[in-house]
Structure 1
Amino acid sequence: MAEFQRAGFIGLGVMGEPICRNLAVKCGLPVLGCDTDPAPLQRLAPHGVAAATIVQIMQQSDVVFLSLPSGEVVAQLSRAADGLLANARAGQLIVDLSTSPVDVTRELAREFAAKGATFIDAPVARTRAAAEAGTLSVMIGGDKQTFEAVKPLVSTFANEITYCGPIGSGQVVKILNNMVLFETVVALSEARAIARRSGVDPQVLLETFTRGSADSFALRNHGLKAILPGDFPEKAFPVDYARKDLRYALALAEQTGVQALGARNVDVWFDAALVQGQGNRYFPVISRVIDAE
Protein backbone atom coordinates (compact mmCIF):
# COMPACT_ATOMS: atom_id res chain seq x y z
CA MET A 1 0.00 0.00 0.00
CA ALA A 2 2.59 2.48 -1.18
CA GLU A 3 0.10 5.33 -1.35
CA PHE A 4 -0.28 5.38 2.45
CA GLN A 5 2.65 5.59 4.89
CA ARG A 6 0.87 5.96 8.23
CA ALA A 7 -2.75 5.61 9.39
CA GLY A 8 -4.55 7.44 12.17
CA PHE A 9 -7.66 6.32 14.02
CA ILE A 10 -9.88 8.63 16.09
CA GLY A 11 -12.62 7.09 18.26
CA LEU A 12 -11.94 3.75 19.95
CA GLY A 13 -15.36 2.90 21.33
CA VAL A 14 -17.50 -0.24 21.02
CA MET A 15 -16.88 -0.51 17.25
CA GLY A 16 -13.78 1.64 16.85
CA GLU A 17 -11.51 -0.40 19.09
CA PRO A 18 -11.88 -3.76 17.28
CA ILE A 19 -11.82 -2.02 13.87
CA CYS A 20 -8.59 -0.25 14.79
CA ARG A 21 -7.08 -3.50 16.10
CA ASN A 22 -7.78 -5.31 12.83
CA LEU A 23 -6.41 -2.38 10.86
CA ALA A 24 -3.20 -2.26 12.91
CA VAL A 25 -2.60 -6.02 12.80
CA LYS A 26 -3.30 -6.49 9.08
CA CYS A 27 -2.60 -3.26 7.17
CA GLY A 28 1.21 -3.25 7.36
CA LEU A 29 1.31 0.45 8.32
CA PRO A 30 2.11 2.16 11.62
CA VAL A 31 -1.17 3.25 13.26
CA LEU A 32 -1.74 6.17 15.63
CA GLY A 33 -4.82 6.06 17.87
CA CYS A 34 -6.77 8.65 19.83
CA ASP A 35 -9.66 8.47 22.29
CA THR A 36 -10.82 10.38 25.35
CA ASP A 37 -10.70 7.08 27.30
CA PRO A 38 -7.16 5.73 27.88
CA ALA A 39 -8.35 2.11 28.41
CA PRO A 40 -8.76 1.08 24.73
CA LEU A 41 -5.39 2.66 23.91
CA GLN A 42 -3.78 0.48 26.59
CA ARG A 43 -5.46 -2.61 25.14
CA LEU A 44 -4.40 -1.69 21.60
CA ALA A 45 -0.77 -0.89 22.42
CA PRO A 46 0.38 -4.56 22.20
CA HIS A 47 -1.15 -4.66 18.70
CA GLY A 48 1.05 -1.81 17.49
CA VAL A 49 -1.25 1.20 18.00
CA ALA A 50 0.61 4.23 19.38
CA ALA A 51 -1.34 6.81 21.42
CA ALA A 52 -1.40 10.29 19.88
CA THR A 53 -3.33 13.55 20.00
CA ILE A 54 -5.71 14.65 17.25
CA VAL A 55 -3.16 17.25 16.10
CA GLN A 56 -0.38 14.63 15.96
CA ILE A 57 -2.60 12.26 14.00
CA MET A 58 -3.53 14.94 11.48
CA GLN A 59 0.09 16.07 11.12
CA GLN A 60 1.62 12.61 10.80
CA SER A 61 -1.01 10.41 9.06
CA ASP A 62 -1.92 10.46 5.38
CA VAL A 63 -5.12 8.47 5.99
CA VAL A 64 -7.29 9.10 9.07
CA PHE A 65 -10.26 6.96 10.11
CA LEU A 66 -13.07 8.36 12.28
CA SER A 67 -15.34 6.13 14.37
CA LEU A 68 -17.46 8.55 16.38
CA PRO A 69 -20.90 8.42 18.03
CA SER A 70 -22.72 10.77 15.64
CA GLY A 71 -22.43 13.15 12.72
CA GLU A 72 -22.72 16.01 15.18
CA VAL A 73 -19.54 14.84 16.92
CA VAL A 74 -17.78 14.39 13.56
CA ALA A 75 -18.69 17.97 12.58
CA GLN A 76 -17.71 19.38 15.96
CA LEU A 77 -14.31 17.64 15.92
CA SER A 78 -13.72 18.68 12.32
CA ARG A 79 -14.52 22.35 12.89
CA ALA A 80 -12.95 22.81 16.35
CA ALA A 81 -10.31 25.54 16.66
CA ASP A 82 -7.48 22.98 16.66
CA GLY A 83 -9.47 20.16 15.07
CA LEU A 84 -9.33 18.13 11.89
CA LEU A 85 -9.88 20.91 9.35
CA ALA A 86 -7.42 23.27 11.04
CA ASN A 87 -4.70 20.62 10.71
CA ALA A 88 -5.72 18.98 7.40
CA ARG A 89 -3.07 18.78 4.67
CA ALA A 90 -3.20 18.57 0.89
CA GLY A 91 -3.41 14.97 -0.28
CA GLN A 92 -4.68 13.68 3.07
CA LEU A 93 -7.64 11.26 3.19
CA ILE A 94 -10.23 11.30 5.99
CA VAL A 95 -12.53 8.27 6.14
CA ASP A 96 -15.69 8.66 8.25
CA LEU A 97 -16.81 5.24 9.51
CA SER A 98 -19.50 6.89 11.65
CA THR A 99 -23.16 7.10 10.68
CA SER A 100 -23.65 10.78 9.88
CA PRO A 101 -26.35 12.94 8.24
CA VAL A 102 -26.00 13.12 4.47
CA ASP A 103 -26.05 16.93 4.31
CA VAL A 104 -23.37 17.23 7.02
CA THR A 105 -21.21 14.68 5.19
CA ARG A 106 -21.41 16.64 1.94
CA GLU A 107 -20.68 19.97 3.67
CA LEU A 108 -17.61 18.52 5.40
CA ALA A 109 -16.36 17.06 2.12
CA ARG A 110 -16.45 20.55 0.58
CA GLU A 111 -14.64 22.05 3.59
CA PHE A 112 -11.87 19.43 3.50
CA ALA A 113 -11.56 19.84 -0.27
CA ALA A 114 -10.83 23.55 0.31
CA LYS A 115 -7.75 22.40 2.27
CA GLY A 116 -6.74 20.02 -0.51
CA ALA A 117 -7.81 16.99 1.57
CA THR A 118 -10.40 14.33 0.67
CA PHE A 119 -13.26 13.35 2.99
CA ILE A 120 -15.29 10.21 2.22
CA ASP A 121 -18.15 8.47 4.00
CA ALA A 122 -17.70 4.79 4.84
CA PRO A 123 -20.29 3.89 7.49
CA VAL A 124 -20.08 0.37 8.89
CA ALA A 125 -22.90 -2.14 9.38
CA ARG A 126 -23.21 -5.33 11.46
CA THR A 127 -22.37 -6.06 15.07
CA ARG A 128 -19.43 -5.66 17.44
CA ALA A 129 -18.79 -9.40 16.99
CA ALA A 130 -18.40 -8.72 13.24
CA ALA A 131 -16.04 -5.85 14.04
CA GLU A 132 -13.96 -8.23 16.18
CA ALA A 133 -13.93 -10.85 13.41
CA GLY A 134 -13.18 -8.32 10.66
CA THR A 135 -16.42 -9.16 8.84
CA LEU A 136 -18.19 -5.80 8.76
CA SER A 137 -20.13 -4.44 5.80
CA VAL A 138 -18.92 -1.00 4.71
CA MET A 139 -20.78 1.34 2.35
CA ILE A 140 -18.56 3.96 0.73
CA GLY A 141 -19.43 7.29 -0.84
CA GLY A 142 -16.82 9.30 -2.73
CA ASP A 143 -15.02 9.21 -6.05
CA LYS A 144 -14.19 5.80 -7.52
CA GLN A 145 -10.42 6.38 -7.50
CA THR A 146 -10.40 7.10 -3.75
CA PHE A 147 -12.59 4.05 -3.17
CA GLU A 148 -10.06 1.82 -4.96
CA ALA A 149 -7.17 3.36 -2.99
CA VAL A 150 -8.75 2.87 0.44
CA LYS A 151 -10.38 -0.52 -0.24
CA PRO A 152 -7.30 -2.59 0.81
CA LEU A 153 -7.25 -0.83 4.20
CA VAL A 154 -11.01 -1.24 4.70
CA SER A 155 -10.68 -4.94 3.82
CA THR A 156 -8.68 -5.43 7.05
CA PHE A 157 -11.93 -5.06 9.01
CA ALA A 158 -14.70 -5.72 6.43
CA ASN A 159 -15.56 -8.59 4.11
CA GLU A 160 -18.32 -6.71 2.26
CA ILE A 161 -17.25 -3.36 0.78
CA THR A 162 -19.73 -1.58 -1.48
CA TYR A 163 -19.13 1.47 -3.63
CA CYS A 164 -22.43 3.35 -3.37
CA GLY A 165 -21.69 6.44 -5.49
CA PRO A 166 -20.62 10.06 -4.91
CA ILE A 167 -19.99 11.58 -1.48
CA GLY A 168 -22.88 10.97 0.92
CA SER A 169 -24.12 7.88 -0.92
CA GLY A 170 -22.67 5.52 1.67
CA GLN A 171 -24.58 7.36 4.39
CA VAL A 172 -27.82 7.20 2.38
CA VAL A 173 -27.50 3.41 2.03
CA LYS A 174 -26.47 2.86 5.68
CA ILE A 175 -29.21 5.09 7.10
CA LEU A 176 -31.89 3.39 4.99
CA ASN A 177 -30.50 -0.06 5.85
CA ASN A 178 -31.03 0.77 9.51
CA MET A 179 -34.46 2.27 8.87
CA VAL A 180 -35.62 -0.98 7.23
CA LEU A 181 -34.09 -3.03 10.07
CA PHE A 182 -35.88 -0.96 12.72
CA GLU A 183 -39.21 -1.24 10.90
CA THR A 184 -38.75 -5.02 10.64
CA VAL A 185 -38.02 -5.29 14.37
CA VAL A 186 -41.23 -3.36 15.10
CA ALA A 187 -43.17 -5.76 12.84
CA LEU A 188 -41.66 -8.78 14.63
CA SER A 189 -42.46 -7.21 18.01
CA GLU A 190 -46.07 -6.58 17.04
CA ALA A 191 -46.44 -10.13 15.72
CA ARG A 192 -44.98 -11.59 18.92
CA ALA A 193 -47.37 -9.53 21.07
CA ILE A 194 -50.43 -10.51 19.05
CA ALA A 195 -49.44 -14.20 19.02
CA ARG A 196 -48.77 -14.32 22.76
CA ARG A 197 -52.09 -12.68 23.56
CA SER A 198 -53.83 -15.08 21.14
CA GLY A 199 -52.46 -18.11 23.02
CA VAL A 200 -49.66 -19.02 20.56
CA ASP A 201 -46.15 -19.57 21.88
CA PRO A 202 -43.94 -16.76 20.46
CA GLN A 203 -41.14 -19.31 19.96
CA VAL A 204 -43.38 -21.36 17.67
CA LEU A 205 -44.35 -18.18 15.82
CA LEU A 206 -40.85 -16.86 15.17
CA GLU A 207 -39.29 -20.24 14.39
CA THR A 208 -42.09 -20.89 11.88
CA PHE A 209 -41.40 -17.50 10.31
CA THR A 210 -37.89 -18.76 9.41
CA ARG A 211 -39.56 -21.34 7.15
CA GLY A 212 -41.85 -18.87 5.40
CA SER A 213 -41.84 -15.61 3.49
CA ALA A 214 -41.39 -13.58 6.72
CA ASP A 215 -37.84 -14.95 7.08
CA SER A 216 -35.13 -12.28 7.36
CA PHE A 217 -31.77 -11.38 8.90
CA ALA A 218 -33.66 -9.34 11.49
CA LEU A 219 -35.82 -12.36 12.38
CA ARG A 220 -32.87 -14.73 12.80
CA ASN A 221 -30.77 -12.26 14.78
CA HIS A 222 -32.90 -9.64 16.51
CA GLY A 223 -36.00 -11.85 16.67
CA LEU A 224 -34.62 -15.23 17.77
CA LYS A 225 -31.60 -13.97 19.72
CA ALA A 226 -33.03 -10.88 21.46
CA ILE A 227 -36.82 -10.54 21.28
CA LEU A 228 -37.59 -14.22 22.00
CA PRO A 229 -35.27 -14.71 25.02
CA GLY A 230 -35.76 -11.13 26.22
CA ASP A 231 -32.02 -10.45 26.01
CA PHE A 232 -31.38 -6.70 25.71
CA PRO A 233 -27.89 -6.00 27.06
CA GLU A 234 -26.30 -2.63 27.58
CA LYS A 235 -23.32 -1.69 25.38
CA ALA A 236 -24.94 -3.32 22.37
CA PHE A 237 -26.66 -1.08 19.76
CA PRO A 238 -28.86 0.87 22.21
CA VAL A 239 -32.16 2.67 21.70
CA ASP A 240 -30.61 6.14 21.91
CA TYR A 241 -28.10 5.33 19.13
CA ALA A 242 -30.77 3.65 17.01
CA ARG A 243 -33.05 6.65 17.43
CA LYS A 244 -30.24 8.93 16.23
CA ASP A 245 -29.92 6.86 13.03
CA LEU A 246 -33.71 6.82 12.59
CA ARG A 247 -33.84 10.61 12.92
CA TYR A 248 -31.24 10.86 10.13
CA ALA A 249 -33.54 8.70 7.97
CA LEU A 250 -36.58 10.83 8.80
CA ALA A 251 -34.63 14.00 7.94
CA LEU A 252 -33.60 12.46 4.62
CA ALA A 253 -37.24 11.47 3.94
CA GLU A 254 -38.35 15.04 4.61
CA GLN A 255 -35.60 16.49 2.39
CA THR A 256 -36.67 14.20 -0.46
CA GLY A 257 -40.42 14.68 0.00
CA VAL A 258 -41.21 11.10 1.05
CA GLN A 259 -43.89 10.50 3.70
CA ALA A 260 -42.13 7.70 5.63
CA LEU A 261 -45.00 6.62 7.90
CA GLY A 262 -43.39 3.28 8.76
CA ALA A 263 -40.25 5.01 10.01
CA ARG A 264 -42.34 7.52 11.99
CA ASN A 265 -44.06 4.61 13.70
CA VAL A 266 -40.66 3.30 14.85
CA ASP A 267 -39.89 6.74 16.29
CA VAL A 268 -43.01 6.50 18.48
CA TRP A 269 -41.72 3.25 20.04
CA PHE A 270 -38.17 4.54 20.45
CA ASP A 271 -39.58 7.58 22.27
CA ALA A 272 -41.65 5.32 24.53
CA ALA A 273 -38.59 3.19 25.35
CA LEU A 274 -36.61 6.32 26.25
CA VAL A 275 -39.41 7.55 28.52
CA GLN A 276 -39.30 4.18 30.31
CA GLY A 277 -35.54 4.54 30.92
CA GLN A 278 -34.53 1.88 28.38
CA GLY A 279 -32.35 4.17 26.26
CA ASN A 280 -29.09 2.33 27.05
CA ARG A 281 -30.44 -1.15 26.25
CA TYR A 282 -30.19 -3.08 22.95
CA PHE A 283 -32.85 -1.51 20.74
CA PRO A 284 -35.09 -4.62 20.26
CA VAL A 285 -36.15 -3.88 23.87
CA ILE A 286 -38.98 -1.98 22.14
CA SER A 287 -40.64 -5.40 21.85
CA ARG A 288 -41.25 -5.25 25.61
CA VAL A 289 -42.59 -1.70 25.31
CA ILE A 290 -44.98 -2.85 22.56
CA ASP A 291 -46.08 -5.83 24.67
CA ALA A 292 -45.81 -4.89 28.35
CA GLU A 293 -46.47 -8.24 30.05
Structure 2
Amino acid sequence: MKVGFIGLGTMGLPMVKNILAAGFDTYVVSRSRPPIDEAVAHGAKEAESPKELIEQVDIVLTCLPLPQTVVDVYEGDNGLVAGATEGKIVIDHSTVSPELNKQVSTSLAAKGASFLDAPVSGGPMGAKAGTLTIMCGGDHDTFTHAYEVLNVIGDYVVHVGQTGNGSVIKLINNMLVGVHTAALSEAYVMGEKAGVNPAVLYDIIKKSSGFSKSMDWSVDAILDRQFEQRFSVKLLHKDMNLALDLAKGLDIPVQVATLAEEMVSKAKKEHSDEDVSAVIRPLEEKTGVVVKRWKDE
Protein backbone atom coordinates (compact mmCIF):
# COMPACT_ATOMS: atom_id res chain seq x y z
CA MET A 1 0.00 0.00 0.00
CA LYS A 2 0.97 3.60 -0.55
CA VAL A 3 0.62 5.55 2.68
CA GLY A 4 -0.09 9.23 3.32
CA PHE A 5 0.59 10.98 6.62
CA ILE A 6 -0.58 14.43 7.71
CA GLY A 7 0.75 16.08 10.86
CA LEU A 8 4.49 15.73 11.52
CA GLY A 9 4.62 16.85 15.15
CA THR A 10 6.32 15.21 18.11
CA MET A 11 4.19 12.12 17.55
CA GLY A 12 3.67 12.16 13.80
CA LEU A 13 7.26 12.50 12.60
CA PRO A 14 8.61 9.43 14.42
CA MET A 15 5.53 7.48 13.30
CA VAL A 16 6.33 8.41 9.69
CA LYS A 17 9.95 7.34 10.13
CA ASN A 18 8.79 3.89 11.28
CA ILE A 19 6.42 3.61 8.32
CA LEU A 20 9.25 4.51 5.95
CA ALA A 21 11.61 2.07 7.65
CA ALA A 22 9.03 -0.68 7.04
CA GLY A 23 9.30 -0.01 3.30
CA PHE A 24 6.01 1.77 2.58
CA ASP A 25 5.93 4.36 -0.19
CA THR A 26 4.91 7.39 1.90
CA TYR A 27 3.62 10.90 1.14
CA VAL A 28 3.47 13.65 3.76
CA VAL A 29 1.80 17.00 4.43
CA SER A 30 2.46 19.22 7.44
CA ARG A 31 2.19 22.90 8.38
CA SER A 32 5.86 23.28 9.35
CA ARG A 33 8.76 23.09 6.91
CA PRO A 34 11.51 21.46 9.04
CA PRO A 35 9.69 18.17 9.77
CA ILE A 36 8.71 17.86 6.10
CA ASP A 37 12.37 18.25 5.13
CA GLU A 38 13.35 15.62 7.71
CA ALA A 39 10.70 13.19 6.48
CA VAL A 40 11.78 13.73 2.87
CA ALA A 41 15.39 13.11 3.89
CA HIS A 42 14.25 9.71 5.18
CA GLY A 43 12.57 8.88 1.87
CA ALA A 44 9.10 10.42 2.04
CA LYS A 45 7.50 12.38 -0.80
CA GLU A 46 5.82 15.72 -0.17
CA ALA A 47 2.28 16.45 -1.32
CA GLU A 48 1.00 19.99 -1.76
CA SER A 49 -2.30 19.54 0.07
CA PRO A 50 -4.42 16.91 1.84
CA LYS A 51 -6.48 16.56 -1.35
CA GLU A 52 -3.41 15.89 -3.49
CA LEU A 53 -2.05 13.49 -0.87
CA ILE A 54 -5.12 11.25 -0.71
CA GLU A 55 -5.25 11.12 -4.50
CA GLN A 56 -1.74 9.58 -4.50
CA VAL A 57 -2.16 6.89 -1.82
CA ASP A 58 -4.32 4.00 -0.61
CA ILE A 59 -4.42 4.83 3.09
CA VAL A 60 -4.06 8.17 4.93
CA LEU A 61 -3.10 8.63 8.57
CA THR A 62 -3.60 11.98 10.32
CA CYS A 63 -2.17 13.02 13.68
CA LEU A 64 -3.28 16.55 14.50
CA PRO A 65 -3.25 18.65 17.69
CA LEU A 66 -6.72 20.23 17.85
CA PRO A 67 -10.29 19.50 16.70
CA GLN A 68 -10.24 22.60 14.49
CA THR A 69 -7.05 21.34 12.85
CA VAL A 70 -8.86 18.12 11.98
CA VAL A 71 -11.74 20.10 10.46
CA ASP A 72 -9.27 22.21 8.44
CA VAL A 73 -7.46 19.14 7.08
CA TYR A 74 -10.55 17.11 6.24
CA GLU A 75 -12.91 19.79 4.91
CA GLY A 76 -12.66 22.45 2.19
CA ASP A 77 -11.67 22.42 -1.45
CA ASN A 78 -8.19 21.07 -0.70
CA GLY A 79 -9.19 18.74 2.13
CA LEU A 80 -9.13 14.98 2.40
CA VAL A 81 -12.85 14.58 1.79
CA ALA A 82 -12.61 16.54 -1.47
CA GLY A 83 -10.00 14.10 -2.79
CA ALA A 84 -11.47 10.90 -1.36
CA THR A 85 -12.68 8.20 -3.74
CA GLU A 86 -14.01 4.65 -3.55
CA GLY A 87 -11.82 2.30 -1.52
CA LYS A 88 -9.61 4.87 0.20
CA ILE A 89 -8.99 4.38 3.92
CA VAL A 90 -8.52 7.34 6.27
CA ILE A 91 -7.36 6.94 9.88
CA ASP A 92 -7.29 9.74 12.44
CA HIS A 93 -4.91 9.41 15.39
CA SER A 94 -5.90 12.81 16.83
CA THR A 95 -7.59 13.17 20.21
CA VAL A 96 -10.99 14.66 19.41
CA SER A 97 -14.65 14.07 20.25
CA PRO A 98 -16.51 10.97 19.04
CA GLU A 99 -19.02 13.38 17.45
CA LEU A 100 -16.28 14.80 15.21
CA ASN A 101 -15.22 11.25 14.32
CA LYS A 102 -18.76 10.44 13.21
CA GLN A 103 -19.02 13.68 11.22
CA VAL A 104 -15.80 12.91 9.35
CA SER A 105 -16.77 9.27 8.81
CA THR A 106 -20.11 10.26 7.29
CA SER A 107 -18.46 12.75 4.93
CA LEU A 108 -15.92 10.19 3.74
CA ALA A 109 -18.52 7.45 3.36
CA ALA A 110 -20.44 9.69 0.95
CA LYS A 111 -17.35 9.52 -1.30
CA GLY A 112 -16.98 5.75 -0.92
CA ALA A 113 -14.05 5.98 1.50
CA SER A 114 -13.70 4.28 4.91
CA PHE A 115 -12.67 5.81 8.24
CA LEU A 116 -11.19 4.67 11.53
CA ASP A 117 -10.79 6.80 14.64
CA ALA A 118 -7.56 5.46 16.09
CA PRO A 119 -6.14 7.58 18.93
CA VAL A 120 -2.78 6.52 20.29
CA SER A 121 -1.16 6.29 23.72
CA GLY A 122 2.49 5.96 24.57
CA GLY A 123 3.89 9.43 24.06
CA PRO A 124 6.82 10.46 21.86
CA MET A 125 8.90 7.60 23.27
CA GLY A 126 6.33 5.06 22.11
CA ALA A 127 6.05 6.78 18.74
CA LYS A 128 9.81 6.51 18.22
CA ALA A 129 9.95 2.90 19.35
CA GLY A 130 6.87 1.84 17.36
CA THR A 131 5.25 0.58 20.56
CA LEU A 132 2.11 2.73 20.70
CA THR A 133 -1.22 1.47 21.95
CA ILE A 134 -3.78 2.15 19.19
CA MET A 135 -7.52 1.97 19.90
CA CYS A 136 -9.49 1.75 16.65
CA GLY A 137 -13.18 2.49 16.18
CA GLY A 138 -15.00 1.76 12.93
CA ASP A 139 -15.75 -1.05 10.50
CA HIS A 140 -13.87 -4.27 11.33
CA ASP A 141 -13.02 -5.04 7.69
CA THR A 142 -11.44 -1.60 7.38
CA PHE A 143 -9.45 -2.30 10.54
CA THR A 144 -8.26 -5.59 9.06
CA HIS A 145 -7.12 -3.91 5.84
CA ALA A 146 -5.31 -1.17 7.77
CA TYR A 147 -3.65 -3.46 10.31
CA GLU A 148 -0.53 -3.98 8.20
CA VAL A 149 0.31 -0.29 8.52
CA LEU A 150 -0.94 0.22 12.08
CA ASN A 151 1.15 -2.71 13.31
CA VAL A 152 4.28 -0.84 12.21
CA ILE A 153 3.63 2.05 14.57
CA GLY A 154 2.00 0.18 17.47
CA ASP A 155 2.52 -3.05 19.35
CA TYR A 156 -0.99 -3.16 20.85
CA VAL A 157 -3.48 -2.41 18.07
CA VAL A 158 -7.08 -3.15 19.03
CA HIS A 159 -10.45 -2.88 17.32
CA VAL A 160 -12.81 -1.43 19.94
CA GLY A 161 -16.14 -1.31 18.13
CA GLN A 162 -18.10 1.37 16.32
CA THR A 163 -16.88 4.73 15.04
CA GLY A 164 -16.08 7.03 17.94
CA ASN A 165 -15.28 4.26 20.44
CA GLY A 166 -11.55 4.79 20.03
CA SER A 167 -11.96 8.43 21.00
CA VAL A 168 -14.19 7.54 23.96
CA ILE A 169 -11.47 5.27 25.36
CA LYS A 170 -8.71 7.82 24.68
CA LEU A 171 -10.65 10.62 26.38
CA ILE A 172 -11.25 8.42 29.43
CA ASN A 173 -7.55 7.53 29.47
CA ASN A 174 -6.47 11.17 29.31
CA MET A 175 -9.07 12.15 31.90
CA LEU A 176 -7.31 9.67 34.19
CA VAL A 177 -3.92 11.13 33.26
CA GLY A 178 -5.22 14.48 34.48
CA VAL A 179 -6.64 12.97 37.68
CA HIS A 180 -3.46 11.02 38.43
CA THR A 181 -1.19 13.97 37.65
CA ALA A 182 -3.19 16.27 39.90
CA ALA A 183 -3.20 13.73 42.73
CA LEU A 184 0.49 12.92 42.51
CA SER A 185 1.27 16.66 42.50
CA GLU A 186 -0.46 16.94 45.86
CA ALA A 187 1.32 13.81 47.08
CA TYR A 188 4.81 15.05 46.15
CA VAL A 189 4.25 18.49 47.71
CA MET A 190 2.81 16.90 50.84
CA GLY A 191 5.76 14.51 51.18
CA GLU A 192 8.35 17.20 50.54
CA LYS A 193 6.87 19.53 53.16
CA ALA A 194 6.72 16.66 55.66
CA GLY A 195 10.44 16.03 55.15
CA VAL A 196 10.33 12.92 52.98
CA ASN A 197 12.84 12.52 50.17
CA PRO A 198 10.63 12.63 47.01
CA ALA A 199 12.77 10.05 45.23
CA VAL A 200 12.23 7.64 48.12
CA LEU A 201 8.51 8.47 48.13
CA TYR A 202 8.34 7.58 44.43
CA ASP A 203 10.33 4.38 44.86
CA ILE A 204 8.13 3.12 47.70
CA ILE A 205 4.83 4.03 46.01
CA LYS A 206 5.95 2.37 42.78
CA LYS A 207 6.11 -0.88 44.70
CA SER A 208 2.84 -0.22 46.51
CA SER A 209 -0.86 0.03 45.76
CA GLY A 210 -0.98 3.79 45.13
CA PHE A 211 1.18 3.70 41.99
CA SER A 212 0.13 4.87 38.51
CA LYS A 213 2.12 5.12 35.28
CA SER A 214 1.76 8.90 35.48
CA MET A 215 4.36 8.81 38.27
CA ASP A 216 6.87 7.20 35.91
CA TRP A 217 6.14 9.88 33.34
CA SER A 218 6.62 12.80 35.73
CA VAL A 219 9.18 11.81 38.35
CA ASP A 220 12.41 12.83 36.60
CA ALA A 221 10.87 15.97 35.10
CA ILE A 222 9.75 17.17 38.54
CA LEU A 223 12.84 16.16 40.51
CA ASP A 224 15.24 17.59 37.91
CA ARG A 225 13.02 20.61 37.20
CA GLN A 226 13.02 19.83 33.49
CA PHE A 227 9.56 20.72 32.16
CA GLU A 228 10.20 20.72 28.41
CA GLN A 229 7.04 19.41 26.82
CA ARG A 230 6.50 15.87 25.68
CA PHE A 231 2.74 16.17 26.14
CA SER A 232 1.86 19.76 26.97
CA VAL A 233 -0.37 21.11 29.73
CA LYS A 234 -2.53 22.87 27.13
CA LEU A 235 -3.18 19.64 25.23
CA LEU A 236 -4.02 17.79 28.44
CA HIS A 237 -6.43 20.61 29.31
CA LYS A 238 -8.03 20.30 25.87
CA ASP A 239 -8.45 16.55 26.30
CA MET A 240 -9.89 16.86 29.80
CA ASN A 241 -12.48 19.35 28.59
CA LEU A 242 -13.43 16.99 25.77
CA ALA A 243 -13.79 14.21 28.35
CA LEU A 244 -15.92 16.39 30.63
CA ASP A 245 -18.12 17.34 27.66
CA LEU A 246 -18.53 13.65 26.87
CA ALA A 247 -19.49 12.91 30.48
CA LYS A 248 -21.99 15.77 30.48
CA GLY A 249 -23.57 14.46 27.28
CA LEU A 250 -23.91 11.04 28.92
CA ASP A 251 -25.32 12.61 32.12
CA ILE A 252 -22.47 11.11 34.17
CA PRO A 253 -21.21 13.16 37.16
CA VAL A 254 -17.39 13.19 37.22
CA GLN A 255 -16.56 15.17 40.35
CA VAL A 256 -12.96 14.00 40.77
CA ALA A 257 -12.13 14.70 37.13
CA THR A 258 -13.74 18.14 37.42
CA LEU A 259 -11.47 19.01 40.36
CA ALA A 260 -8.45 17.71 38.46
CA GLU A 261 -9.40 19.85 35.45
CA GLU A 262 -9.34 22.89 37.73
CA MET A 263 -5.75 22.11 38.72
CA VAL A 264 -4.75 21.58 35.09
CA SER A 265 -6.47 24.85 34.17
CA LYS A 266 -4.44 26.73 36.80
CA ALA A 267 -1.23 25.25 35.44
CA LYS A 268 -2.22 26.20 31.90
CA LYS A 269 -2.31 29.92 32.80
CA GLU A 270 1.46 30.12 33.41
CA HIS A 271 2.82 26.81 32.10
CA SER A 272 0.71 26.11 29.01
CA ASP A 273 3.53 24.92 26.75
CA GLU A 274 5.36 22.95 29.41
CA ASP A 275 5.07 19.22 30.01
CA VAL A 276 2.07 17.89 31.94
CA SER A 277 4.37 17.26 34.89
CA ALA A 278 4.26 21.06 35.36
CA VAL A 279 0.74 20.68 36.78
CA ILE A 280 2.55 20.56 40.13
CA ARG A 281 3.92 24.09 39.80
CA PRO A 282 0.92 26.21 40.88
CA LEU A 283 0.61 24.13 44.07
CA GLU A 284 4.33 24.54 44.72
CA GLU A 285 3.98 28.29 44.24
CA LYS A 286 0.98 28.43 46.58
CA THR A 287 2.67 26.44 49.35
CA GLY A 288 6.22 27.69 48.94
CA VAL A 289 7.40 24.10 48.51
CA VAL A 290 9.63 23.05 45.60
CA VAL A 291 9.87 19.33 44.92
CA LYS A 292 13.32 18.54 43.57
CA ARG A 293 16.06 15.96 43.77
CA TRP A 294 17.88 16.03 47.07
CA LYS A 295 21.61 16.84 46.86
CA ASP A 296 22.69 13.86 48.92
CA GLU A 297 21.17 11.30 46.52
TM-score by length of 1: 0.93
Amino acid at match of 1:178: N
Post-superposition offset of 1:226: 2.4
Post-superposition offset of 1:269: 1.3
Structure 1 match to 2:293: none
Structure 2 match to 1:210: 206
RMSD: 1.4
Structure 2 match to 1:41: 36
SS of residue in 2 equivalent to 1:252: helix
Q: Deviations over 1:85-110 (max 9, x none)?
A: 11111111110011111111111111
Structure 2 match to 1:7: 3
SS of residue in 1 equivalent to 2:155: strand
Verify the 8 A CA contact 1:189 1:227 in the aligned structure 2.
Answer: no
Verify the 8 A CA contact 1:72 1:100 in the aligned structure 2.
Answer: no
Cα distance in 1 for partners of 2:104, 2:72 equals 11
SS of residue in 1 equivalent to 2:186: helix
Verify the 8 A CA contact 1:55 1:83 in the aligned structure 2.
Answer: yes
Verify the 8 A CA contact 2:118 2:137 in the aligned structure 1.
Answer: yes
5+ residue gaps, structure 2: 289-297
Cα distance in 1 for partners of 2:157, 2:252 equals 28
Structure 2 match to 1:74: 70
Verify the 8 A CA contact 1:7 1:30 in the aligned structure 2.
Answer: yes
SS of residue in 2 equivalent to 1:156: helix
Amino acid at match of 2:279: I
Amino acid at match of 2:152: T
Percent identity reads 30
Out of 141, 159, 167, the residue aligned to residue 155 of structure 2 is 159
Residue 279 of structure 1 pairs with residue 272 of structure 2: yes
Q: Deviations over 1:207-228 (max 9, x none)?
A: 2111211122122222x22233
Residue 111 of structure 1 pairs with residue 107 of structure 2: yes
Which aligned pairs between 1:248-263 and structure 2 lie closer than 5 A?
A: 248-263=242-257
Deviation >6 Å, runs of 4+? none
Verify the 8 A CA contact 2:117 2:138 in the aligned structure 1.
Answer: yes
Structure 1 match to 2:232: 238
Cα distance in 2 for partners of 1:87, 1:287 equals 45
Equivalences, count: 285
Residue 225 of structure 1 pairs with residue 220 of structure 2: yes
Which aligned pairs between 1:27-106 and structure 2 lie closer than 5 A?
A: 28-53=23-48, 54-106=50-102
Which aligned pairs between 1:166-177 and structure 2 lie closer than 5 A?
A: 166-177=162-173
